[in-house]
Every structure is written in structure tokens, then in C-alpha cells.
Amino acid sequence: TRGRSFIKSWSGTMFEYFMPCLFLPVIKRSFEDEMIRGAFAEQLKRNPKGLWGNSESSYFAFDDALNYKYRAFGVKSLALEKGTGKNNVVSPYSSFLTLPFFPEKSNENLDLFKEKGVFGDYGFYDAVDLTKSRTGKPFATVKNYMAHHIGMSIVAGTNYLTDYMAVKDFFDIKREAFLPLLEEKTPEFSKNFSSYPYCKTPKNRSARTGELFDGINIGNPKVRTLTNGKASLVLSDSGNGYFSVG
């Protein structure tokens, strides 16, 4: 996308790309480094003149108990999930996630959230719903707090202020053996596609049935096969199995 390569996530959210960076180092010029820069650019492009940062959050709709509903909101160009991008809900914690990597833009966005009143007794509210078809106005503040979003904001802010202290504490000498996985370079090949390839469900599919297993027989395992004629999944009662195509 616009000269950058990255793996698409399911929902195209800030959370999916930046949450691992709370505890894992991002190696310069690695594929991960390329991906978060590309994801950040696509997120800003979604809302170029206002609040940005689509991620999982509450939104301006209510369940039967009058609690705010919750779901993932992402950017279409980053997502595999069909229908991503129809709703536009932005969250302050998304800017905290990007703060260690893009401090100037992130701080500007957090200031804008505060200017618009998205701030209460316990810090930033969870989100702002920009979906006019749902709110009936330019935006609606979702006035609740999510503990895990506040927690991620604290960790990200700590990394920003202390030269990645949380990353250094988590990624100790025992985990350095896995460092080569984080040094993966951007692949020389790529495949471009706009959405996840959905298949029509056959009309003659069998009814779903459930089984209860109260033990595991390693010598004579119980095995089940799931297939659509092209892809097959074989699973045993011990959790072993394999997947094949063709």
C-alpha cells in the first residue's frame, strides 16, 4: 500500500498492530518496523483532518442493560474482515499505543481529544463515535472507561517516558533466543488482495452435532474430519491433527 508492505490483520485495528509492541522490541528496518509504519499511515489517512485511531472499543449503542456495546473498528485497507470501514469510531488509547513511535502526532491527537471534552474524572473516555448514521450528529462521546485500555495506555506511556522500560523488563535474557524472529526482513514478494475470500455455504450441509468426551485414549483415539471437498481438517480427542488443501 503506497510503497509499504505489511500483513493484513483481521480487523485493521491499531490494537492488532501496536499491542505486541508494549512488550516486544521493534527492530529498525525489520518487517515489523515496516508494518507499524504502514499501519500508522493508513490510520491517519482514514481521518486526515480530525481525530484518528480506529481500534477495538465501545461505541454509541446500547445493550438491554443500557451498557455501551463493544466491537472492533478498523481501517478497510488493513483488514481482511468483510465490511470493515463502514463504522468510524476512534479511541484515545490508540494514540497511547503509537506514542513511543510517533510521539508528535500522537500527542497532538490526545490534545484534540481533550479539547473536544473526551476526558473525565478518571482520564480519557473510551471512544468517540463518528458514525453519523448511528449518532445523528457529527460525533458522540462514549463516556465509559475500559480497564484494559487504560492499562495499555499506562504501559505505552511508560515505554515512551522511560526508554522502553516495560519492553526491557519483559524481554529478558531468556527471551533473547527468539530475537531473530523479530529481525525478519520485509519479504521480496507480496500478494495484493482487497478482502477475505468468502465461500458460499452449500445448501446440503449436514446438521451440527456435539459430542462429550470424558477421557483420552492415546492408543485408540477418537478422530473427526471436517471438509468442504477442497480443504480438510482432522482432529483427535487429544488435540492433535492436521490441515490439508487439495
- Each residue's pLDDT tens digit, 116-154: 999 999 999 999 999 999 999 999 999 999 999 999 999
Sign of CA dihedral 91, 93, 94, 99: positive
Of the pLDDT bands very low, low, confident and very high (cuts 50, 70, 90), residue 172 is confident
31: Cβ contacts below 8 Å, ≥ 6 apart: 5, 6, 184, 185, 186, 187
Residue 35 scores a pLDDT above 90: yes
Dihedral Cα 176, 181, 185, 186, nearest 10 deg: -140
C-alpha cell read off for 164? 522502553
C-alpha cell read off for 68? 455501551
Backbone angle region of 70, left / alpha / beta, with phi > 0 → left and psi within -120 to 50 → alpha:
beta
CA–CA distances in Å: residue 121 to residues 23, 26, 143, 241: 28, 34, 11, 51
Q: Which residue has the cell 519483559?
A: 170
- The pTM (predicted TM-score) of the whole model is 0.78
Can you tell me the distance from the alpha carbon of 91 to that of 244, in angstroms, rounded to the nearest whole number? 40
Model pLDDT, residue 155: 98
Amino acid at 18: F
Can you tell me the distance from the alpha carbon of 189 to that of 43, in angstroms, rounded to the nearest whole number? 24
Residue of higher predicted confidence among 173 and 106: 106
Model pLDDT, residue 202: 60
Q: Are 134 and 69 in contact (CB under 8 A)?
A: no
